[in-house]
A = this chain, B = another copy of it.
């Protein structure tokens, strides 16, 4: 028999990630956050699952400032060549900024500087609107943070 099996773990992880589409998790954080909701998943399974999502193009991975692998679920929507990925250094959320400037920038860098940007792999770091305003919250237990220096 061929094909993938539908398991409790996969179902739960998918459900959880879909409900936190903005957040970027390390495998450890994902497992821990789910545990807090009473769902246990092995660390190894979390690693393997997140990697498989990337292979299926339903999540993306990037390395945060501390060198950890963070994954964001996006359900395969994305036409991610056409927009920026910006991540807030404070709250750790990742946003897709869908605007014409992404394409313009890519073209400009290629035409004028000879560099071909891969927007899917590129992440701009900064601070989101909410975090600029507020004392900012989040980071209760360190979940989904990707701050740090570069």
Contact = CB atoms under 8 A, between A and B. Distances in A.
A115 B128 contact: yes
A34 interface: no
A48 B109 CA distance: 35
A65 B121 CA distance: 9
Contacts of A86: 109, 113, 115, 117
B112 A99 contact: yes
Contacts of A132: 114, 116
Interface string A101-121: 100110011001111111011
B124 A150 contact: no
Nearest to A60: B150
